[in-house]
Amino acid sequence: MYFAIKLIFKQNLFKEARFQKMDGSAISLSLWVGLGAGLFTVAFSQLPAIQSDQFKFQELFEYLNRAEWYVFLVFLLLGNVYKETLFRGLLLNSFRGVLPVTLAILLQGLLYGVLFFFGDIPLSLYGFLGAIIFALLYVWFDSIWAPIAAQVACQGVQYLLWHLGPKSDDIFILSAVMAVAGAMIATGLYLGNRRFRKPFSHEEVVHT
């Protein structure tokens, strides 16, 4: 992908996608949001309604988590670097170079949901919401490592809890876990917006 971008667009992929160093607080908040998202997903996937044949969520979660640990580890690291570089580092940056940042974030979220989940409305909505969260981290912290860290934390905790964590079909317990996880996400995003948000400059993204 690096050489394709360099050849076609005459741009440095690492500079365009903003592979920039983050400080400890930004990394911690990104991991915190990712852990919250992963915990929410684990509890959500155990809801009796979600495990029914009516939805394809269970099929997705099994596909993502049934791999051997070494296969999953490669996907966790390399897959998320590739995915975040493509959707946040390239697509989102291209969109926000010509659109208001809010519209750019919504558009990349829509494309992410549709392309990854092939028009399945519930799964596309799930992907859309996740893409919005990761895009906010990218924009606020001005580094591609922010959504990568969040994705690694999110999918890592899903994998561990899927194989080692307790299982439950108690709606009250699962709802409580989802509420706690949602509060983790909201708190992380609030602190991220308050402490690390930087003004966006068109010249910072469109390189000549």
Residue 169, Cβ density class (10 Å: 0-12 exposed, 13-18 middle, ≥19 buried): exposed
State yes or no: pLDDT of 2 exceeds 80.
no
Q: Which two tokens stand for residue 143?
A: 């580094």
Q: What is the pLDDT of residue 131?
A: 94
Q: What is the pLDDT of residue 197?
A: 53
Cα–Cα nearest to 44, from 194, 171, 207, 188 = 171
At position 149, the amino acid (one-letter code) is A
Mean pLDDT (whole number) for 136-156: 95
Q: What is the pLDDT of residue 174?
A: 96
pTM of the model: 0.84
- Three-state secondary structure call for residue 187: helix
Lowest model confidence (mean pLDDT) among 60-64, 119-123, 183-187: 119-123
Residue 118 and residue 123: Cα distance in Å, rounded?
A: 9
Mean pLDDT (whole number) for 121-129: 88
Mean pLDDT (whole number) for 1-30: 72
Q: Compute the radius of gyration of the chain from its Cα atoms.
A: 17
Q: Delimit the domains of the chain by residue range.
A: 23-197
* Neighbour tally for 56: CB within 10 Å: 14
* Mean pLDDT for the chain overall: 85
Model confidence pLDDT, tens digit, residues 77-104: 999 999 999 889 888 988 988 999 999 9
Continuous H helices in the chain: 2-9, 13-16, 24-45, 57-65, 69-74, 80-84, 93-96, 101-117, 121-141, 145-164, 171-196, 202-205
Residue 85 and residue 144: Cα distance in Å, rounded?
A: 7
